[in-house]
Amino acid sequence: MKIVSKRPMLVGTSLLLLASAGLYGCKDFLTSNEKPQGTLDQSILANAAGVEGSLVAAYRALDCTSAIQANWGCAASNWVWGNVAAGDSYKGSDITDQPPINDIELYHWGTADAETYLQEKWRITYEGIARANATLRLLKQVQTANAAAFSAADAKGIAGEAIFLRAHYHFEAWRMWGNIPYYREDDLDFHKANLASAAVVTEIIKDLDSAAKLLTTAPRNKEKGRATQWTAKAYKGRVLVASGQYAAAIPVLEDVKNNGPYALQPSFDQVWTGFSAFYNGPETIFAYQASANDGEPNGNNANYGERLNFPYSGSHFGCCGFNQPTQNLVNAFKTDAATGLPLSMVDATWNNDDATLTSARKTVPVDPRLDWTVGRDSVPYKDWGLFSIADGWVRDIGNGGPYSPKKNAHEKASGAESSVGWQNTQLNSVKIHLFRYADLLLMLAESYVEANRLPEAMTIVNDIRTRAAKTAQGCGTTEIADKYPLCETDSRMAVPINDPVTAQWANYRIGNYTSFPDQNYAREAVRTERRLELAMEGQRFFDLRQYGQTYASGFVSTYLTKEGTTARRQFLSGAESFKAKHMLFPIPQLQIDLSIVNGTPALKQNTGW
């Protein structure tokens, strides 16, 4: 079996079936068999090529797959769960399209509609676990039959990658549901009871430690995208912070920072991009490596889970207007005119502004990351021209507001757009970051705050902000010169933030902190920086949950009170109050029913649902 790659490992391929888990293998896998079959059992796969294919299949479950996908609850980016449920984005589109997300947005998570999306997330997550475990079983089978099938190094590497993936998928399930069953390769009874949340964390860390011992510091076969020892170590730090074990996280994260291969991408525009030169940059710790124009006839190896999240029909992309940034999030990018610090850190009225932040309000100081994250009216949209409400780039302002997501969009000049598939203009090879170095650094800063090491936390936050101050959205194309004359001969997409062209649509202002006067201030500064840096990346809800019920309830209550007005999104006035039960999502009832043994379900529902 050949992994099609010029260095990165592509995780998408043609559909095969493997016993208990669906398997994606490479195109050559079927055609290289003497008698190609549509269904492969484990005996046919019991060879080196089969093991490698099974491992690729485990990576492929990171994002939605067309074979089992029923909705977008399975998206690698967690945009439904991490953005919509957290006040970073509205569902968007119109009220009739993908109605289950309406209930998720309104915190009615116990409805039948909401369950359809929760079920999809559960299914893709445990599908990934099943595929990782199938790989480990198959590896043992092949080694038993033929000890020379793999070198010792390759055998360790394959096992390490599969165990890492198993840990990742369980972490995804833990972030959603907390109390979940944990499956390893020797588990043959799929009616296991939930472990308590803390016990799940222990099991995840065990797997990450095991993976780190098996993996080397470089990706196997020099194929970027594969998990390495550093990936496992970094992920361990992530799990420790997410579970509130800050003291234990510090030495783990410091080791990665001081000795690992990661670094911040030189400028923010290079983090989410379709340009191949930046595809596997130093900031990537772990990502779904979307692949376009690779021979898959429907473009399904591309950014499948993100395909709804583009400007509407008046734009080049043509559809579908989901995952629209909230007014609350846009206001969070405003900065103090004097210091360049987040306005929310210096002014309690930072979120009082209900007016759309268009280019006509270009004197308002904003963080330059705003226009790498949010599509705004009459502001260049990467290199696609001006984002235009008048031209139909927004589907339904009343339902989704006036803004669009931007990080997931490819650049026109990048060549990352798929040439095949339904609405191919929405499909691209923009990598979906699942964990990146800026995220890790801010976790270390958060841990430093909890240890009252405030200067060290401030240094990290300022490093992130210094990078953010490098570049801002430029003209992108000369085609907008009718409105912005300085763009007549200037097609640069990324420019210094004080470049004269930017003053035509924005007042970019960002500065560094000079002190963290106390722990509470420092804590809020780090949390604010995480929101700005990781906005629209599917992280926000899980951060709110980590900060505790009081903080999460307070934010959501304030958000809903302000947004649920006629000036913003009145439909949010029908939202359910955020309560203790909302700290975890309900386990899909279907999964509880499937766990029944002798009339008793092995799975127990989370409290309150």
For every residue of 317-366, DSSP letters joined together read: S----EEEEPHHHHHHTBB-TTT-SBGGGT-TTTT---S---GGGTTSEE
Tokens read off for 550: 């009081």
- What would the mean pLDDT of 100-122 be, rounded to a whole number? 97
Domain residue spans in the chain? 14-227+584-601, 329-394+470-509
Residue-level length of the chain: 609
In CATH, what number does 14-227+584-601 get? 1.25.40.890
Phi, psi angle pair for 308, to nearest 5°: -85, -10
Peptide bond into 319 cis (omega under 30): no
CA 126 to chain centre: 18
Gap between the Cα atoms of 138 and 46, Å rounded: 6
DSSP H helices, 146-196, are 152-177
- Chain segment 466-489, per-residue pLDDT in tens: 999 999 999 999 999 999 999 999
Which distant-in-sequence residues (6+ apart) come within 8 Å of 212 by Cβ?
Answer: 160, 229, 232, 233, 236
Q: Say which range, 37-46, 159-168, 395-404, 597-606, has the weakest mean pLDDT.
A: 37-46
User: 345 with 513: CB under 8 angstroms?
Assistant: no
Q: What is the pLDDT of residues 409-430, one digit of tens each?
A: 999 999 999 999 989 999 999 9
| Listed range (4-8, 200-204, 295-299, 338-342) with the worst mean pLDDT | 4-8
> pTM of this prediction?
0.93
Q: Which of 197-211, 234-248, 554-568 has the lowest mean pLDDT?
A: 554-568
Q: What angle do CA 43, 48, 53 make, to 5 degrees?
A: 80
Q: Which of 207, 260, 272, 578 is nearest to 433 (CA)?
A: 272
Please enumerate in sequence order all residues whose Cβ is within 8 A of that of 456, keeping only pairs 6 or more positions apart, or say none.
Answer: 445, 448
Q: Which of 258, 158, 289 is nearest to 211 (CA)?
A: 158
Q: Do 25 and 16 meet the contact criterion of CB atoms below 8 Å apart?
A: yes
Q: What is the pLDDT of residue 604?
A: 98
Q: Both tokens of residue 566?
A: 């006629």
State the average pLDDT over residues 219-246: 97
Q: Looking up tokens 């296991």, which residue turns up?
A: 192
pLDDT tens sequence across 60-87: 999 998 666 779 999 999 999 999 999 9
Q: Which two three-digit tokens encode residue 421?
A: 């598939």
Q: For residue 40, what pLDDT band results from cuts at 50, 70 and 90?
A: low
Neighbours of 26 (CB within 10 A): 22
Q: How far, in Å, are 125, 261, 586 from residue 243 at the CA level? A: 19, 25, 19
Residue 190 pLDDT class (50, 70, 90 cuts): confident
